[in-house]
Every structure is written in C-alpha cells, then in structure tokens.
Amino acid sequence: MSDSGAEKRKHPRAPLNVLVQFRFDTFDEFLAEYSLNISPGGIFIKTDSPREEGSVIYLQFTLRDGSKLIEGMGKVVRVNPPGDPKRPGGMGIEFMNFDEESMALIAEICAQRTPKN
C-alpha cells in the first residue's frame, strides 16, 4: 500500500500545468505558481513555500487562450514539503467556494484531460 495519499482521493487527477495566482489573508498582493494537476474537487500547486494545512486562500487562473478566468476560495488540505525526491513540493487545495460556471469549466477540463483506462 502506498503512502502517496492516492487512496484518500475522491476524484481522479488530471494533469494541468497552468499559472495560478493566489492570495492569503495576510497578503495584499497575489503570488503566482504553476499547478501540477486538477480534479473536480481541487488543485495541486507546486511551490517551495506552501501554507499550513487549513489555510484559506483565494485562487484565480485563466485558460491558456485567455478565454475564461476561474476564481474562488480554497482550503489547503495537504502539504508536500519542498525537497522530497519522491513528491513535488507544494500544496493540495480543496475547492470551497467557486461559482457554478467555474465548477462546470473545471469538470470539463478534467474530463478532457483525465487518462482513460
């Protein structure tokens, strides 16, 4: 049995390398890092400076063609410390408060990118 956390996942992950801007309560400016993957339930952001589990953040990202801004609130539910050779450093974010249009677009992205068995 692996300790990767895959067994706990509610949704399959789809690869997605997109620049995600995010802001915490204590920052006035957005930070920006790249995502690693996405699911209908959340997104993983690669970063050497992950926030603590339980932190609430405001996220926004745009599709590569610039056509749609996806934004909403998320909660840090998993942290991978930087420097682990087995896992990329970063944080798993659970989507908490996204509008229906954004959630539909996320579901569409996941359906297009999730590997078929």
- The residue ranges of every structural domain in the chain are 13-112
pTM confidence score? 0.84
Task: Tell me the percentage of the chain whose pLDDT exceeds 90.
Answer: 58
* pLDDT single digits (tens) 31-42: 899 999 999 999
* pLDDT single digits (tens) 74-85: 999 999 999 889
What topology is assigned to 13-112 in CATH?
A: Thrombin, subunit H (2.40.10)
Cα 18 to Cα 66: distance, rounded to the nearest angstrom: 11
Given a cut of 50, is residue 116 above it in pLDDT?
yes
pLDDT at 10: 76
In DSSP terms, which residues pair with 19 in a beta bridge? 34
Given a cut of 60, is residue 6 above it in pLDDT?
no
Q: Transcribe the chain into DSSP letters.
A: ---SSGGG-SS--EE---EEEEEETT-SS-EEEEEEEEETTEEEEE-SSPPPTT-EEEEEEE-TTS--EEEEEEEEEEEE-TT-TTS-SEEEEEEEEE-HHHHHHHHHHHHHHSPP-
